[in-house]
Chains A and B, each alone.
Chain A
Amino acid sequence: MALLGAEAQALPRCLFVSSYHQGYSWSDGVQRGLEDALEGKCQLRQFDMDTKRHKAEAEKRAAALAAKALIEAWKPDVVITADDNAARYLIVPYYKDAKLPFVFCGINWSVNEYGFPFSNVTGMIEVAPVRALLKEARQLSGGHDRFFYLGADTATERKNLARFRKAAAGLGIQAESRLVDSPRDWLDAFAEAQGFPFLVLGSQAGITGWDFAQMRAAIGDKARTLTVTNHQWMMPLAMLGFTKLPEEQGDWAGRTALAILDGTPPAEIPIIANRRWDLWLNSSLLARAGIRLPDKLSSKAKQWQDTP
């Protein structure tokens, strides 16, 4: 044990600062990918800012300061951050062009608002297969050129919505949207969306009192229109999913951190986007809605199974 301890002490230190909390599906997926990439190669320590559940500005800043205090106390060799809040409240204010290298992941769509690239920062942007989703949804819904977007009223969702609008515009599709703060509003918006050719479900993260089981039960047989999503965790309520892989974010961030520890400057590693997504279908909801997917798609997509 002492030997193992000594070996661990000799490994470089990697600090993982998650914007959210453990138990949040996306963050958990990122963490899995990261841990797989770094396992046995560095001392991994995690700090959760928990800004999904503590959304107040002061709480986010306090969480960033706590992370900063931990950085100064533990003195990691590299810091990996996940999702936007860590970039926004930790990297940008305290570590722009600092010596300490940062690898971010999970930043939605663009880093323009953070001013990246910094000399000490690189990372992977989280990009959803919006275009592919819209094209497939329009095709499945009969070629209509409008859709409804429903998500939480959060900055992330706002960015997502903007991306959808932009992509839809490129495809000649119009988008209606509703970003809500409560399950009830969400259910109301869901009911409203049944009148659109297809519904795009954004992330529910940030909606207070959300419970998938209750929401699943609430919609019951009310889902009639094609419901699609980019978030795997939204599949209990969606019929078709073009989902990102959080593990890809964590894996890449981990391998990039190792490359930096191996001597590659962060500036020589371009900021890239994720490029993997997966295809899911919820047969139960499809069946209830009486929607039949083409064989090419149904045979290709992964079957979503609700957990009992």
Chain B
Amino acid sequence: MLVRHPRLWRGLAFAVPALLLFALLVDLRIDAQRNEFREIADQAFDRLSQADRNSLAMLNALAATYQGMNDFDASRLSGLAASIRQANPGTRLIAFAAWVPGGEASQFVEQMVEEGYPTFRIRGDGPHLLASGREGYLPIRFLEPNDPRLLGLLGGDLVRDPADVALMRRLIGAGRPIILSDWSPADRFAEDIFYGVPTYRGFFVPSSRRDRLQQVDGVFVLSLSPTALLAGLNRHFPSVRFALVRGRASLARVDGEYPKLSWLVGEHALIQLELRQPVFAGSRVLHATRSLAAPDLLGLWVVAPPVGLGLAMLVLVVALQNRVQAREESRRKGRELELERHRADGAMRSISDAVIMLDEDYRVRYLNRVAEEMLGCTADRAAGKPADQLLELIDVLNGCPLQELHGWLERMCEGETGPEVLLNNHFREQLPVNIRVSRLEGHDHGGLVLAIRDTSHEYELNARLSYQASHDDLTGLLNRSAFEQRVRAVLSQQDASDAIHALVFVDLDRFKLINDTYGHEAGDQLLRMVTEVLQNGLRDDDCIGRMGGDEFAVLMRAPDMTIVGELADRLRKRLESMRFLWSGHVIDVHASLGVVPVDAELGGFDEIMKNADMACHAAKEAGRNTVHVFQPDDRVVGERRRQVQWLPRLQQALENDQFVLYRQAIWPVRKTDGEGPAFYEFLVRLRDSDGTDIAPGLFLPAAERFDMMRCLDRRVIALAMEAMGDPDCMPPGSRCTINLSGQTLTDEGLIDYIAEQARRCEVTPDRVCFEITETAAITNLEVARKLAGRLRAMRFRLMLDDFGAGMSSLGYLHNLQVDYIKIDGQFVRNAVTDPLSAVSVRMICEIAQVLGLETIAEMIEDNATVLSMRKHGVDYLQGFDLSRPEPVPRSRRLRLAYSR
């Protein structure tokens, strides 16, 4: 409660006692003020009473003095009256009115004039009957002080109206001083308090009232000025305001209410004390008031103690609140700590790392759940055990247990990188772990925290990644990079023995055809099968890798290259004996193998691989399914080397326009007289610097190998179009065929280039037929199909060259939509002697007829073949026996160029 509304309670703690004490002190203060006020009022009353008594006494004395002397003249009276005025503050005047019998008024006035009062007159409506048988006046003949402002009273009759008659008769009859209530000699003195005392003839006051009325001589009058009296009172008691008012019983003092207290009576007054007391024989009421403003009541001693008490209570409550708050805060923090502990425990339990907390003596203080499972020990049982009893760490590098675990932990804590370690778990398994050690900062007793992460999964993952990085996904063999590492390792090691290392390069023959024919899945399966066959044929220490596509390499160690050759041939035979069954088809698999020594003296890895590749190509060129063992003076390999040397020459020839066209006529199989060739096939030659033309067989392999066929084909197309557009080169209306290599099929700008050249040379498309080899078309079947479609759309013709060599399905013929089929020359050349070739030719012709295609038989070298082809239904013939290739005359452009 105290803490829920702290400000409220603090305010109450301050305000309530402060207000109570304040009220008490204010009440005491008021009480004190009332007492003080009462004392002052009583003193004022006493002063007025004293003035009253003094006035009576002095007036009585004056009268007695006057009474007792017979020569009491004005000078003496003046001195005496002045003394009385001085002795009795508040006395405004002392007057003497002489009794003037009614018949002596004139005489009295004359006497006054004679004495120096020339303007003296008796003023009044008298004479009045003041006693039985005695009428007269009581004119004032003497005044003290001799103030010009008062002198107007001279001559005034004390009896101003009939009511005064009784008063004067009472006064004269009394023979002693009395207060002349409600009487004044003039209106302007109406507020004064007048006393009167009569004087009589003779030295003594007559004893009887009757005699006093008969023997009256005059009357002394004394007045007290309320203004002067109040000024004196206010001067002496400045804190109280006094007033004298006429009044009597109604203003009498009432016990129990005296002095009266009123609240908020003025603009600035908080309270007003009021006292009324009759004075001057009840003719006046002394009205005393005292207004007390806040500062009068709220002095320092009134304000300070409540504030002090309030502050003290405030401090007490604040201290109490702080204590309660501190207790609640402590409880709240305890709950939060407990919650945090639960959370931390939950977090510890939720994290995958094992967490072990050690005290400063390296004894176990805490294990989380993972640590419990990892170490096979509960936290309770582990608590207090030395760390080196619980943790058995093995150095990965040497396989030995870690010595000096404590020192190792401290070094790890300092950031030192330790060796990879294994942890013996409770199953006695060695887990690869990563241990991070940190110090319990700020903890009272220090200690260490070990975060142990089981890195088995990462370890396996790394191993798998490493494996994947070094192995081929499809076959599981080493990939090229890993294999290279092995070869380089061999090259860098010096083998003291006589054994040699060799590399066997395996390239499957016509794998692409299989892959394209039966699909990649078949190709992949074939590769896996080949891998298995190869692995089964290898020795334990042989190392095999997949170099890419259908290429494999085996690193062997053998006494000499002969044995390596034998081992390679053994592999070839294994592959040859392999039968790959796919979708009901039995596919023969064979490969060409190149063998090269792995010897640092013969070059590095790249050189070795180049040699192996050339050896493998040599094996392929040797008819495939063979093994070619590289020799330093190897001819075939030397040829391959020469191909490499063709590269700069080809580039130079393209740049210098050194290629020229030859043409070979293609004749109808049943030629009529005078009929010219149906086509001319343009053939390319490289004109050497000595003017000789180099056959394409020498440079085309190099061009194909070094991917220069696109450029070369474009140059042939340009030359052919120029020739076809030049009647001096080609007979008008003649048709031609232009060969497109497999590389050119993928030339995306080819169609536009052909169209541009035809337009440039004004050659109609129907005069040009493009030849694509069956192998190239099959290899790039989809590209070939699109190309064929676009060429036909432009009305160019298309011919499938070397048809039959691929031994492929004939289904693609329909998709390619070719116009002509040029039968593979091997079939044509052997058709006369080889029945299979003859059947093949006949079957091809029959298929062509079904598809509406025309066939061309090339490599016609003799008349028997002409007859055979004619028999099989071939439409056109081409060969040395009919027309040898001849140079095409230079076109107009070339002529102009050479003429310059």
Task: Tell me the A residues contacting B by CB distance below 8 Å.
Answer: 109-112, 116-117, 122, 125, 127, 129, 132, 135, 252, 255-256, 259-260, 264, 268-277
Distance (whole angstroms) from the CB of B290 to the closest CB of chain A: 34
Selected contact of A111 from candidates B78, B118, B155, CB within 8 Å: B118
* CB-based closest 10 A-B pairs: A273-B116, A275-B74, A127-B116, A256-B148, A125-B116, A259-B148, A269-B148, A270-B119, A270-B151, A276-B75
Selected contact of B78 from candidates A110, A127, A256, A276, CB within 8 Å: A276
Q: How far is A221 from B204 in the complex, measured between Cα atoms in Å?
A: 47
Selected contact of B148 from candidates A109, A132, A255, CB within 8 Å: A255
Tell me if B146 counts as interface (CB < 8 A to partner A). yes
Selected contact of A270 from candidates B78, B115, B154, CB within 8 Å: B154
Q: A117-B119, A255-B148, A270-B155 are in contact. List 10 more A-B contacts (CB 8 A).
A: A127-B116, A129-B73, A256-B148, A259-B147, A270-B117, A270-B154, A275-B73, A275-B146, A276-B78, A277-B75
User: Inside 8 A of B152's CB, which chain A residues have their CB?
Assistant: 268-270
Q: Is the CB of A255 within 8 A of B75?
A: no
Q: A129-B73, A129-B75 are in contact. Are A273 and B151 (CB under 8 A)?
A: no
User: What residue in chain B is nearest A275 (Cβ atoms)?
Assistant: B74
Q: How far is A257 from B79 in the complex, measured between Cα atoms in Å?
A: 23
User: Inside 8 A of A125's CB, which chain B residues have their CB?
Assistant: 116, 118
Q: Is the CB of B116 within 8 A of A109?
A: yes
Tell me if B606 counts as interface (CB < 8 A to partner A). no
User: What are 9 A-B residue pairs whose CB atoms fall within 8 Å in the complex?
Assistant: A117-B119, A129-B75, A259-B147, A264-B149, A270-B152, A272-B117, A272-B146, A273-B116, A273-B117
Tell me if B120 counts as interface (CB < 8 A to partner A). yes
Q: How far is A14 from B74 in the complex, measured between Cα atoms in Å?
A: 30
Q: How far is A274 from B152 in the complex, measured between Cα atoms in Å?
A: 16
Tell me if B444 counts as interface (CB < 8 A to partner A). no
Q: Is the CB of A272 within 8 A of B75?
A: no
Distance (whole angstroms) from the CB of B469 to the closest CB of chain A: 117
Q: How far is A256 from B152 in the complex, measured between Cα atoms in Å?
A: 12
User: Inside 8 A of A127's CB, which chain B residues have their CB?
Assistant: 115-116
Q: How far is A135 from B151 in the complex, measured between Cα atoms in Å?
A: 29
Q: Is the CB of B154 within 8 A of A272?
A: yes
Residue among A109, A260, A270 with the highest chain B CB neighbour number at 10 A: A270
Tell me if B441 counts as interface (CB < 8 A to partner A). no
In B145-192, the 8 Å CB interface with A consists of: 146-149, 151-152, 154-155
User: What residue in chain A is nearest B120 (Cβ atoms)?
Assistant: A270
Residue among A132, A255, A273 with the highest chain B CB neighbour number at 10 A: A273
Q: Is the CB of B78 within 8 A of A275?
A: yes
Tell me if B690 counts as interface (CB < 8 A to partner A). no
Q: How far is A110 from B116 in the complex, measured between Cα atoms in Å?
A: 6
Q: How far is A116 from B75 in the complex, measured between Cα atoms in Å?
A: 25
Q: A255-B147, A264-B148 are in contact. Are A271 and B119 (CB under 8 A)?
A: yes
Residue among B119, B147, B148 with the highest chain A CB neighbour number at 10 A: B148
User: What residue in chain A is nearest B153 (Cβ atoms)?
Assistant: A270
In B56-93, the 8 Å CB interface with A consists of: 71, 73-75, 78-79
Q: How far is A127 from B661 in the complex, measured between Cα atoms in Å?
A: 183
Q: How far is A125 from B386 in the complex, measured between Cα atoms in Å?
A: 138
Q: How far is A277 from B73 in the complex, measured between Cα atoms in Å?
A: 10
Q: Is the CB of A272 within 8 A of B116?
A: yes
Distance (whole angstroms) from the CB of A78 to the closest CB of chain B: 12
User: What residue in chain B is nearest A132 (Cβ atoms)?
Assistant: B73
Distance (whole angstroms) from the CB of A200 to the closest CB of chain B: 19
User: Inside 8 A of A111's CB, which chain B residues have their CB?
Assistant: 118
1/0 per residue B724-767: CB within 8 Å of A? Answer: 00000000000000000000000000000000000000000000
Distance (whole angstroms) from the CB of A28 to the closest CB of chain B: 22
User: What residue in chain A is nearest B74 (Cβ atoms)?
Assistant: A275
Distance (whole angstroms) from the CB of A95 to the closest CB of chain B: 18
In B107-156, the 8 Å CB interface with A consists of: 115-120, 146-149, 151-152, 154-155
User: Inside 8 A of B117's CB, which chain A residues have their CB?
Assistant: 270-273
Q: Is the CB of B118 within 8 A of A112?
A: yes
In B189-247, the 8 Å CB interface with A consists of: none
User: What residue in chain B is nearest A167 (Cβ atoms)?
Assistant: B114
Q: Is the CB of B118 within 8 A of A269?
A: no
In B331-345, the 8 Å CB interface with A consists of: none
Q: A256-B148, A272-B146, A276-B78 are in contact. Are A116 and B71 (CB under 8 A)?
A: no
Distance (whole angstroms) from the CB of A36 to the closest CB of chain B: 15
Selected contact of A132 from candidates B71, B115, B118, CB within 8 Å: B71
User: Inside 8 A of B149's CB, which chain A residues have their CB?
Assistant: 259, 264, 269
Distance (whole angstroms) from the CB of B747 to the closest CB of chain A: 126
Q: A259-B148, A264-B149, A268-B152 are in contact. Are A274 and B116 (CB under 8 A)?
A: yes
User: Inside 8 A of B115's CB, which chain A residues have their CB?
Assistant: 127, 273
User: Inside 8 A of B118's CB, which chain A residues have their CB?
Assistant: 110-112, 116-117, 125, 271
Q: How far is A239 from B548 in the complex, measured between Cα atoms in Å?
A: 176
Q: Is the CB of A272 within 8 A of B78?
A: no
Distance (whole angstroms) from the CB of B621 to the closest CB of chain A: 144
Q: Is the CB of B146 within 8 A of A252?
A: yes
User: Inside 8 A of B74's CB, which chain A residues have their CB?
Assistant: 275
Distance (whole angstroms) from the CB of B76 to the closest CB of chain A: 9
In B521-538, the 8 Å CB interface with A consists of: none
Q: How far is A112 from B147 in the complex, measured between Cα atoms in Å?
A: 23
User: Inside 8 A of B75's CB, which chain A residues have their CB?
Assistant: 129, 275-277
Q: How far is A56 from B149 in the complex, measured between Cα atoms in Å?
A: 38
Q: How far is A111 from B148 in the complex, measured between Cα atoms in Å?
A: 18
Q: How far is A268 from B149 in the complex, measured between Cα atoms in Å?
A: 8
Q: How far is A152 from B704 in the complex, measured between Cα atoms in Å?
A: 184
Q: How far is A12 from B151 in the complex, measured between Cα atoms in Å?
A: 23
User: What residue in chain B is nearest A166 (Cβ atoms)?
Assistant: B114
User: What residue in chain B is nearest A244 (Cβ atoms)?
Assistant: B75
User: What residue in chain A is nearest B146 (Cβ atoms)?
Assistant: A252
User: What residue in chain A is nearest B115 (Cβ atoms)?
Assistant: A273
User: What residue in chain B is nearest A258 (Cβ atoms)?
Assistant: B148
Q: How far is A50 from B218 in the complex, measured between Cα atoms in Å?
A: 45
Q: How far is A110 from B115 in the complex, measured between Cα atoms in Å?
A: 9
Q: How far is A273 from B149 in the complex, measured between Cα atoms in Å?
A: 15
Q: How far is A122 from B79 in the complex, measured between Cα atoms in Å?
A: 24
Distance (whole angstroms) from the CB of B139 to the closest CB of chain A: 12
Selected contact of A269 from candidates B71, B116, B120, B151, CB within 8 Å: B151
User: What residue in chain B is nearest A255 (Cβ atoms)?
Assistant: B148
Q: How far is A108 from B222 in the complex, measured between Cα atoms in Å?
A: 31
Q: How far is A82 from B184 in the complex, measured between Cα atoms in Å?
A: 35
User: Inside 8 A of A269's CB, which chain B residues have their CB?
Assistant: 148-149, 151-152
User: Inside 8 A of A264's CB, which chain B residues have their CB?
Assistant: 148-149
1/0 per residue B827-845: CB within 8 Å of A? Answer: 0000000000000000000
Q: How far is A255 from B149 in the complex, measured between Cα atoms in Å?
A: 9
Q: How far is A270 from B118 in the complex, measured between Cα atoms in Å?
A: 8
User: Inside 8 A of A132's CB, which chain B residues have their CB?
Assistant: 71, 73
User: Inside 8 A of A109's CB, which chain B residues have their CB?
Assistant: 116
Q: How far is A111 from B117 in the complex, measured between Cα atoms in Å?
A: 10
User: What residue in chain B is nearest A108 (Cβ atoms)?
Assistant: B116
Distance (whole angstroms) from the CB of A304 to the closest CB of chain B: 19
User: Inside 8 A of B146's CB, which chain A residues have their CB?
Assistant: 252, 272, 275
User: What residue in chain B is nearest A264 (Cβ atoms)?
Assistant: B149
Q: How far is A226 from B71 in the complex, measured between Cα atoms in Å?
A: 22
Residue among A117, A256, A272 with the highest chain B CB neighbour number at 10 A: A272
User: Inside 8 A of A135's CB, which chain B residues have their CB?
Assistant: 71
Q: How far is A110 from B110 in the complex, measured between Cα atoms in Å?
A: 12
User: What residue in chain B is nearest A257 (Cβ atoms)?
Assistant: B148
User: What residue in chain B is nearest A251 (Cβ atoms)?
Assistant: B146
User: Inside 8 A of A122's CB, which chain B residues have their CB?
Assistant: 148
User: Inside 8 A of B154's CB, which chain A residues have their CB?
Assistant: 270, 272
User: Inside 8 A of B147's CB, which chain A residues have their CB?
Assistant: 255, 259
Q: How far is A279 from B449 in the complex, measured between Cα atoms in Å?
A: 129
User: Inside 8 A of A110's CB, which chain B residues have their CB?
Assistant: 116, 118
User: What residue in chain B is nearest A242 (Cβ atoms)?
Assistant: B75
User: What residue in chain A is nearest B116 (Cβ atoms)?
Assistant: A273
User: What residue in chain B is nearest A260 (Cβ atoms)?
Assistant: B148
Q: How far is A3 from B79 in the complex, measured between Cα atoms in Å?
A: 41
Q: A132-B71, A271-B119 are in contact. Are A252 and B148 (CB under 8 A)?
A: yes
